[in-house]
Homo-oligomer: A and B are copies of this chain.
Amino acid sequence: MENTAPLKPTETELEILQILWQHGPSTVRFVNEEQNKVKETGYTTTLKLLQIMFEKNLVSRDEESRSHVYRAAVTEDETQQRLLDRFLDTTFRGSAMKLVMQALGNHRTTPDELNQIRHLLKKLEDDSSNADS
A residues sitting closer than 8 Å to B (CB atoms) are 11, 14-15, 18, 77, 79-81, 83-85, 87-88, 90-93, 96-107, 109, 111, 113-114, 116-118, 120-121, 124-125, 128
Contacts and interface: CB of A to CB of B under 8 A. Distances in A.
As for how many copies of this chain the complex holds, the number is 2
Contacts of A97: 109, 113, 116-117
18 contacts: A14-B90, A15-B90, A80-B92, A80-B99, A81-B102, A84-B103, A87-B87, A96-B104, A96-B109, A96-B113, A97-B113, A99-B103, A100-B103, A101-B120, A103-B103, A105-B124, A111-B125, A118-B121
A107 B87 CA distance: 13
